[in-house]
Structure 1
Amino acid sequence: MSNRLVTGGPVTDRRAGARLSVAAITSTLLCAVTLVLAYLNKARCAGGPFEESGRSIIFDLTKDSNVCYSDIQFLWVGRDINEHVFPYLSGGITPDGQLIGGAVEYPVLSGLLMWLGGIGADNDAAFLLHSALLLAPFALLTAYMLGRLAGPAALLWAAGPPLVLYAFHNWELPVVFTSVAAVYVVTVMTRYSLRARGIAAAILLGIGFCLKLYPGIFLLPLLLHVLLGEHAEYDPRARRYDVRGALMVAAAGVATVVAINLPFALAGYQGWRASITFQQLRQADITTNSIWYWGLRPQFGNTAAAETSFQNVVSLASPLLVLASFALAAWIGWKRYSITGMYPWIGVSGAMLCGFLLFHKVHSPQYTLWLIPFLVLLEVPWSLIGVYLLADAAIGIGVFRYFYQLGEGNVADIEERIVQFGVWGRAALLVIFFFLFVWAAPRRLDLLGVPGAEGRALGPVSTTGHIAPATRTAA
């Protein structure tokens, strides 16, 4: 098997950099067009006449039948956004799990974005527009970074169906930005030491944790990457472990989370704590699109006692399996490190996300936006990506048609089958992606991180795209 070096000198670097720049700009421009379509899709549910609360009357009439529902518009009422109450400083949660006052169910930075989107709005249509304008720059920056990292593959993010369906479904775009920005910092900004890049990335992941939690799980593979280093060393006697750097990465991430949350916790503990309690009390029901409801729930009876038993099982099994998947992903990453001399922190992060999405009791449709960057960054077969997008559309579109038919009292057998195809199709592919991610090479490895690419430290790459064991010379 013949090998080729990752980069070929200054001329190759300049040409590769130019191609990546074109890909990044193209991706950003197409993303802007997609965002307009995404807004128009959701705006079909918004507009006068309005109820006294500022809710669009058309929203309740068409949100499911026309598949234009968004959490942004829905939460205009019920979280005191329409009253312009600053979140978390007041309110709390009732014993039956209902949020009251200024409490919201999301971490503090998402709550802050919700409040900012409501400034100047007196109805849900204006709130949707203001929120879209607030969120759009994060999608554009993500498109640019993915273009710089992965070339044309970034179009999956910038012009794919998920962005149309979910860009303004919830407040996901900022948190996706923080995850991609962490990868960008570690991979591209190689003029700085790995330790410095790791600390900067940890801060970004800490910010992401304060938006939607999930980027926090990437801190483990990141600190392992910093601990082990990015240059392959196969002589155990020559290895140098940066223990101090790994501890600094962990401390930076934790300190960021504490610094952001502490003011809210001190100013209004009950309102701040309510967001955590809400998620703890949330049940695996028909709205969660999880394998637990569609796979395990039918094994229990239809009594209230059976429902309680089911929820108790899920509350125990779900977190245990999520944690087990994290451990398995980290261990497989270590096995790859023992072969290639490089810890695949991006692939391990993607695998951990797959485990979370598969076993968590809630799998909302817009979570697909979390996964798309990993499908862009890592060499996953496009055929599998196409099937995943099909299954995702079955949820993102089919579940609302299913709710509409149930709400009308109609038979919904066809819609239910579509939803189940989406649930089990996504679940099967998440299992496949879990293992593929850890072993996958980065897309456009020959162009990755130009100039001064991290790819240079990966050693020779075979013509099949797999990373061959690096030598000191190649490194």
Structure 2
Amino acid sequence: MTSSPVLPSRDDPVAAAASEWVGGPAGRRAVPGRRWWNPLRIALAVGCVALALGVLADKPCHDRSWESREDRAVWTSLCYSDVPFLYRERGLADGDVVYRDTLLEYPVLTGGVMQTTAYGAQALQGMVNPDPPDRAIAESVRFYEITAVLMAVAALVTIVATGRTAPSRPWDALLVAASPLLLFSAAINWDLLAVALTSVAILAWTRERPGWAGVLIGAGVAVKIYPVLLLGVFFLVALRAPERAVAFRRFVLATVAAATTWAVVNVPVALWAGDGWRYFFTFNIDRGADFGSIWYALQLLAPDLLRNDIDRLVLGAGLIMLGVVVVIAMLAAEPPRMTQLAFLAVAAFLLVNKVWSPQYTLWLLPLAVLARPRWRELVIWQVAEVLYFAAVWLYLAGFFDPENPVISGDVYAWSILLRVGALVWLCALVCRDILRPEHDPVRASIPSGGLTAA
């Protein structure tokens, strides 16, 4: 194990080249960890700047109060957010209680956060202006503001967890903090709650706290479904661990803790409001190909290609891709790192999912940084995501105003295929790192005993 943090300007070719603008790579005697501005604090400061810029980017919509999805400026200003619209459209503005009085297409912890935030928004609006011209619209803006703060806190937690997962590589947290994905997507929805819980669960696993890792996974699944994939990753790690019996005990403990936590959160709501609780599952089962997915792109480019129900295609493709992850994990000469497998599993899920909203890519951000912390690859992948981010909003401007499209359906479809191609390319690099460990930029900087953990 290295005695001091790995320095990007000495470890990453792109970072080394960029450092020439500020005096060149850090010297051999540099000891950044002894200063107050250590790598983690710098990453948190950069993250705060990125999140603040994200709020400023939403200002055109904030000034217009996100009044209507038919307002073209919501889309062309690239500042759309689900948050204020859902406040008005899911009964929160009318005093409804989620799951009991209104159907909600989110798991129960997300619903709980929405309900609590709604009460806070109403109280805040009462203090700011108790008699606005349109109470629902005014409260929905307050709802967005409180949510943006909560998501910022979740983002900072994610940055800290990422920086501490591989202790010898704290500077990798900066790759999360400075990401344009964080800037553009933080306040679109509540995904960063699940990202934070997942990131801390990974940290707990690397610190040999499988019980806490399971608790955090169970809570994460009650926010978004994807953290459950970590349990499969832990199983693969156990299969390849040198001390298999110990590893399987950790896996079982994490699984039991995750299932118990999920049940504690979900069962009371299921008993209290069964129809509302089940709606999340039926909504996702019944939906068709939706925005961002490869299935939607194929429908736009070749409408006759997917005439049948896509559920079987999604299931089949998902099983194949997850099977590929299992095969790679088992064939690797050296046990793969846990975060490499976690990145591949979540990427496989997104690649075949029926919907791939812009903010879903936040699920991958800390995992990609932990799996392959290389500036060039991460920049190329994120450029494709930023191009898609612009394309989806411009496409939706025409979707809600068909007589005045901004970009064509074909252009939008190709933007989807571009982001798919970029992610597949990044996955291929991670697979190569697993099969040929000498290419893995992380492996040399952590002790051999912690490879499967981190």
SS of the equivalent of 2:91 reads: coil
Asked if 1:7 is matched to 2:15, the reply is no
Aligned pairs for 1:251-270 (under 5 A) are 251-270=256-275
Q: Give the C-alpha shift of residue 419 in structure 1.
A: 2.5
Asked if 1:294 is matched to 2:297, the reply is yes
Quote the Cα distance in structure 2 between the aligned partners of 1:254 and 1:20: 41
Code of the residue aligned with 2:106 in structure 1: it is Y
**1:143 aligned partner:** 159
**1:332 aligned partner:** 328
Quote the Cα distance in structure 2 between the aligned partners of 1:426 and 1:409: 25
Code of the residue aligned with 2:229 in structure 1: it is I
**Residues 385/275 of structure 1: CA separation in 2 closer, same or farther (3 Å cut):** same
Q: Which one is further off, 276-285 or 439-448?
A: 439-448
Q: 1:245 aligns with which of 250, 253, 263?
A: 250
Q: 2:354 aligns with which of 361, 369, 373?
A: 361
**Residues 256/19 of structure 1: CA separation in 2 closer, same or farther (3 Å cut):** farther
**2:367 aligned partner:** 374
1:167-189 deviations in Å (ceiling 9; x for gaps)? 000101111111111221222x3
Q: Give the C-alpha shift of residue 391 in structure 1.
A: 1.5
C-alpha RMSD of the superposition: 3.1
Q: Give the C-alpha shift of residue 134 in structure 1.
A: 2.1
Q: 1:85 aligns with which of 96, 105, 114?
A: 96
Aligned pairs for 1:145-294 (under 5 A) are 145-148=161-164, 149=166, 150-187=169-206, 189=207, 194=208, 197-226=209-238, 228-229=240-241, 232=242, 240=245, 242-285=247-290, 288-294=291-297
Code of the residue aligned with 2:449 in structure 1: it is A
Code of the residue aligned with 2:368 in structure 1: it is L
Quote the Cα distance in structure 1 between the aligned partners of 2:3 and 2:48: 34
**Residues 408/221 of structure 1: CA separation in 2 closer, same or farther (3 Å cut):** closer
SS of the equivalent of 1:119 reads: helix
**1:133 aligned partner:** 149
Q: 1:32 aligns with which of 48, 51, 70?
A: 48
SS of the equivalent of 1:102 reads: coil
**2:9 aligned partner:** none
Q: Give the C-alpha shift of residue 124 in structure 1.
A: 1.5
| TM-score, length basis structure 1 | 0.77
**Residues 409/435 of structure 1: CA separation in 2 closer, same or farther (3 Å cut):** closer
Note if contact 1:45-1:59 (Cα within 8 Å) is conserved in structure 2.
no
Q: Give the C-alpha shift of residue 343 in structure 1.
A: 4.2
* Structure with the higher fraction of residues in helix conformation: 2
SS of the equivalent of 1:26 reads: helix
Aligned pairs for 1:382-397 (under 5 A) are 382-397=375-390
Note if contact 1:85-1:102 (Cα within 8 Å) is conserved in structure 2.
yes
SS of the equivalent of 2:62 reads: coil
Quote the Cα distance in structure 2 between the aligned partners of 1:269 and 1:380: 44
Q: 1:351 aligns with which of 323, 344, 356?
A: 344
Quote the Cα distance in structure 2 between the aligned partners of 1:58 and 1:218: 36
Note if contact 1:199-1:252 (Cα within 8 Å) is conserved in structure 2.
yes
Code of the residue aligned with 2:76 in structure 1: it is S
Quote the Cα distance in structure 2 between the aligned partners of 1:406 and 1:78: 19
**1:457 aligned partner:** 449
Aligned pairs for 1:49-60 (under 5 A) are 56=67, 60=71
Q: Which one is further off, 21-30 or 436-445?
A: 436-445
Asked if 1:404 is matched to 2:397, the reply is yes
Q: Give the C-alpha shift of residue 433 in structure 1.
A: 2.8
Asked if 1:113 is matched to 2:113, the reply is yes
Code of the residue aligned with 1:33 in structure 2: it is V
Code of the residue aligned with 2:224 in structure 1: it is K
**Residues 261/199 of structure 1: CA separation in 2 closer, same or farther (3 Å cut):** same
Note if contact 1:47-1:58 (Cα within 8 Å) is conserved in structure 2.
no
Q: 1:73 aligns with which of 74, 84, 104?
A: 84
Q: Give the C-alpha shift of residue 410 in structure 1.
A: 5.0
**How many pairs does the alignment contain?**
405
Code of the residue aligned with 1:169 in structure 2: it is I
Note if contact 2:51-2:152 (Cα within 8 Å) is conserved in structure 1.
yes
Quote the Cα distance in structure 2 between the aligned partners of 1:421 and 1:446: 38
Structure 1: runs of 5+ lacking an equivalent: 1-5, 91-100, 234-238, 449-454, 460-466, 468-475
SS of the equivalent of 1:46 reads: helix
| TM-score, length basis structure 2 | 0.80
**Structure 1 residue ranges, 4+ long, deviating more than 6 angstroms after superposition:** none
